[in-house]
Structure formats: structure tokens, C-alpha cells
Amino acid sequence: MTQKPRVSDSALVWERPEPSSRPAPGPLSRERIVGAALELADAEGLASVSLRKVAAALDAGPMRLYGYLSTKEELLELMVDAVYGEMVSEGPIRGAWREALRSMAHRTRQAAAKHPWLIDLMVGRPHLGPNALAHLEASLASLSDTPGFGEDIDAVMQAVGTVNAYVVGALRNEASEQRATLDSGMNKTQWQNATEPYIRRMIATGRFPTLARVFQDATHPAFEVVFDKGLDCVLDGIAARLKR
């Protein structure tokens, strides 16, 4: 039975040196490999990314890629960190904690709009690439010097984690709607129109009075408006924590 290699600091792709450059049949680097993978994922979705397809896009044999990374999981980590690099390259986060966290949330939303596959990889264990760490550092720093938080690093982590959880959840919901549109051939309005007769019949039973108010009176704003209002709710909660 094959035993998986143990992970140690020296084994992480971030600190592993690249092989010596080979000019023929074509020069490779982690940057070029990741760039090709990003193009594939952006054009065809995350499921289309494989070492074989990335190698083909670079006119290289798949085995050559293994000198630069060991697994597809490492490639995905490199891809995520490249996107974090795009966010970090927009410049330092300025302003008080609320403006800083709002700005970082919007950077993440913009990155997810450019790379729709990103949100599927933003769950689970923290990403440890240098750009991801820089993004996390900026998030934590926005609160670490704020009175009411600076003396409690656990509270800082919980607040930032709550904002991140909201952002990921909201963006996953937005991405799910986009996928549903592609899969069903109906956009949200068309789907609502198709299901409206059923909803009206259910409301007419009198069993769902609160849902009746939603159906009749709710404004159902665009995703960007919903995102901002939900983010305000989260930030208001952090502000209330500061006033204790």
C-alpha cells in the first residue's frame, strides 16, 4: 500500500526551489504554469484544470510540471495565491477598521467576479501562500490597533473570521445563482415567474403569513446591494462589540 508523504515545512511548495531552467522544448516556471492554469479555469471552470491540460497549453509534457509542483492540490494553492496577489497589488488598505474590512470584502467580491471558480477554494483550512498571508495580515491589522480589540487577539480573529465567513457565504450564493442560470437556461426573474403560481397557491393556504409579506412587499434588490447590506449587518455587530 502506497503511503502518502508526510508534510513538513521544507516540503511546502512556497519554499521549494524551482528546477534549473531548460530552454528546450520551452522554458517553464511556476509563474507560467499558474498563468496557464488560471486561463483554463477562467475560461472553462475549475473542473477543466488538470496537469495534463496545463502542460498541453504550455506545449510541454505533463511530467515536466512535476519538477515545479508535486500534486494538483499544490497547483490549486498556487492559483489561489496568484489571485490573492491581484488583490494585494491594488495597494494598502487604508482607513479605520470598518472601511478597511469593507474594502477587503469588496476586493474579494471583485476577484470572485473575475475568477468565478475562486469561491469554491476559499473554504476549509487557511491558505498559506505569501499573498494570502499578506491579505490576512492586513485584515487582522485593521482591528489589532483598535481600542476594544487590540488587547484581545482572539477577538480580532473572531471578528475577521466572521467577516470572511459572511463574504464567502454571500459569494457562494451569488455563484450558485449564476450556475443555476446556466444549468436551467432561466435567469432569476424567469425562474421566479415560472414558480410564481405555485407560491401564490401555497400562500393562499394561510400557513405562511411571513412569507406572504416577503412575496408581496420585499424589494429583492440586486446582488451587489444585498452584499453591501449584509456586510453592514456584520460590521454593525463588530461595532457593537467595540462599545461594550
CATH code of the domain in which 207 resides = 1.10.357.10
Residues 120 and 235 in one domain: yes
Residues 183 and 237 in one domain: yes
Residues 104 and 64 in one domain: no
Residues 230 and 149 in one domain: yes
92, 74 Cβ separation under 8 angstroms: no
Residues 61 and 109 in one domain: no
Residues 52 and 130 in one domain: no
Distance CA(80)–CA(38), nearest Å, equals 9
Distance CA(56)–CA(223), nearest Å, equals 37
Strands (DSSP E) contained in 80-195 are none
Residues 57 and 106 in one domain: no
Cell numbers representing residue 135 in the block: 491579505
> Given this model, what pLDDT does residue 25 score?
60
Is 76 inside a domain boundary? Answer: no
As a whole-number percent, the residues of the chain with pLDDT over 70 amount to 92
Please say if the pLDDT value at position 3 is more than 50: no
Is 148 inside a domain boundary? Answer: yes
pLDDT digits (tens, 9 = 90+) for 123-170: 888 999 999 999 999 989 888 888 877 678 998 999 999 999 999 999
- Structural domain count of the chain: 2
Residues 127 and 196 in one domain: yes
Distance CA(48)–CA(55), nearest Å, equals 13
> Given this model, what pLDDT does residue 4 score?
47
pLDDT digits (tens, 9 = 90+) for 66-101: 889 999 999 999 999 999 999 999 888 888 899 999
* Residue 24 or 82, more confident: 82
Residues 179 and 63 in one domain: no
Range of the domain at 223: 94-243
pLDDT tier at 242, thresholds 50, 70, 90: confident
Residues 119 and 188 in one domain: yes
What single-letter DSSP state applies at residue 208? -
